[in-house]
Amino acid sequence: MEIRLSTVQKICRRVDASGSVVECQAGSGRPKSARTAQNVQRADELICLQEGESGTHQSTRQVAVELNISATSARRIAKEDLHLSSFRRVPVQIITDAVR
């Protein structure tokens, strides 16, 4: 395989101009559709308004159904935008059986 000198020069010009070989323009790619500011605010209301009240906890799946977004997007909103950590409820019997 033979590489032309003009190809190498073109790559060098790109690196000199932008600092990278790959040229990604701002705003290129698929726009966000689930992690919008409105969905983040609504998820914050659904998740954080339940603090201090027993029996009112909603899972990220329930939040996803409420907001009509995927469960993965609901988890990303909780973790990356709201800086919360999800947990999974484990029955006590499973924990004590595993210790024995």
Given a contact cutoff of 8 angstroms between Cβ atoms, the answer to whether 79 and 47 are in contact is no
Q: Which amino acid is at 71?
A: A
Residue 35, pLDDT above cutoff 80: yes
**pLDDT class for 65, splitting at 50, 70, 90?**
very high
- 50/47: higher pLDDT: 47
Residue 7, in any domain of the structure? no
Q: Which of the four pLDDT bands, split at 50, 70 and 90, describes residue 25?
A: low
Residue at 96 is within a domain: no
Give all strands (DSSP E) within the chain, no chain letters.
none
**Residue 41 belongs to domain spanning:** 34-85
Which pLDDT belongs to residue 41? 92
Q: What is the rounded average pLDDT for all residues in the chain? A: 78
**Collapsing DSSP states into helix, strand and coil, what is residue 19?**
coil
Split into its structural domains, the chain has a count of 1
Give CA separation, 2 vs 12, 17, 22, in Å: 17, 25, 22
Asked whether residue 21 is domain-assigned, the answer is no
- On whether residue 41 sits in a domain, the answer given is yes
Handedness of CA 14, 16, 18, 19 (dihedral sign): positive
Q: Determine, yes or no, domain membership for 64.
A: yes
Would 29 be classed as within a structural domain?
no
> What global pTM score does this model have?
0.55
Q: Does the pLDDT at position 97 exceed 60? A: no
